[in-house]
Amino acid sequence: MPDAPIAALPPTVAWHGDLDGHLQLLDQTSLPHDCAVLRLDTAAAVADAIRRLAVRGAPAIGVAAAYGLVLGVRAAAPPPGGFLAAVRAAAAALAAARPTAINLQWALDRCVAAAQAEPTLERLLAEARAIHEEDVAACRRIGEHGHHLVPPDGTVLTHCNTGRLATTGDGTALAVLFAAWRAGVRFRVLVGETRPLLQGARLTALELAAAGIPVQVACDGAVAGLVARGDVQLALVGADRVAQNGDFANKVGTYPIALACAAHSVPFFVAAPRSSFDPCLADGAAIPIEERDANEVLELGGRRLAVAGVAARNPAFDLTPGRLVRGFVTDRGLLLPPFPAAIKALCGSGR
Ligand code: MRU
């Protein structure tokens, strides 16, 4: 192409209609070169879209799953008394689509609680819409709380995609960058390509270029060397699940960035909404790390890279210890160490 500017793209997640409506997702697997839209009418189709990353990014999959639950319960046409059982069954199926991002389970838990209070489809749809609206607002507040961190004339390193495609608002880490840019701060962004599915090269570069923010893509393996050379003044990434002590899971390749930043005294910050914090986990050891199909590593554009018979490892996320994090930019403010107390207060401040 010249690829479509992001502002011209359809929304990442949209519900069309009322109780008889359907879910529309922007198919991210074909970006940036093609812009395909999915019209989904079943919970199974939503779970499939989440599994194959047609919709991706921790907050966005939470919102999509909440709408998927409406579709699942509607199709089940549960008898009066069986409504909650249908909600729980559909929620369990959707939650199984991807294990690492807590936002998925968090959104479904909220919908189940809403259905317990009022077992109607109307209430489920209202909860999904509330989760959606709150996500947009949370992204805006993350930008407000973090934009002052961006160094004027500096280079910000980010990873994967944490923007308008990963959320239903401006993003998490990218919301901070968009807010700084709107406030008149000028800077450059370096983004790791994010092997194997290239969210950095395909999606983040698209979003930043569309906003007019200078962006360069680097091979993931080049990033530590660029940090060591003094080419990065701030690293800012998202999170899929943050434990009580600040350990967090994010896209594979985040941990090496944190190590390089620690070794070279570059500030390393994480941007994430309250819904990405898991109040049940004391530390990151128990965060489930998704292992995806080996062919994502062994093939590129449908062409085999390694000879037949060679195996691969494909963890989609890695775990970064909280001690490497300078601070968390959340929708409720900036959290600084010691993290256990700050995160406990965040999680206790409501949903
Ligand atoms: O596998 P993905 O593309 O869903 O991974 C996304 C990330 O790792 C993001 O950094 C994370 O969800 C936080 S962004 C809002």
C-alpha–C-alpha distance, residues 175 and 136, integer Å: 11
Q: What is the mean pLDDT of the chain?
A: 96
C-alpha–C-alpha distance, residues 150 and 234, integer Å: 7
pLDDT at 1: 42
pLDDT tens for each residue of 187-233: 999 999 999 999 999 999 999 999 999 999 999 999 999 999 999 99
Residue 299 predicted with pLDDT over 90: yes
Share of the chain above pLDDT 90, in %: 94
DSSP conformational letter for 217 = E
Instruction: Quote the strand ranges of the chain, DSSP E.
Output: 13-16, 22-27, 36-40, 155-158, 188-192, 215-218, 234-237, 241-242, 248-251, 268-271, 299-300, 303-304, 317-320, 327-330, 333-335
The full set of domain ranges for the chain reads 6-139, 143-347
Superfamily of domain 143-347: Translation initiation factor eif-2b; domain 2 (3.40.50.10470)
Cite the active site residues.
240
* Residue 301 phi, psi (nearest 5): 55, 35
Residues 160-185 have a mean pLDDT of 98
Residues 52-67 have a mean pLDDT of 98
Task: Among 28, 160, 330, say which to mutate for ligand 1: greatest number of ligand atoms within 8 Å of CB.
Answer: 160
The answer to whether the beta carbons of residues 163 and 175 sit under 8 Å apart is: yes
292 lines ligand 1 (CB under 6 A): no
Which residues is 317 bridged to in the sheet?
251
What's the pTM value of the predicted model, to 2 decimals?
0.96
59 lines ligand 1 (CB under 6 A): yes
306 CA from centroid of ligand 1 (Å): 27
316 lines ligand 1 (CB under 6 A): yes
CATH node for 6-139: 1.20.120.420
pLDDT at 4: 57
pLDDT tens for each residue of 110-149: 999 999 999 999 999 999 999 999 999 999 999 999 999 9
pLDDT at 322: 98
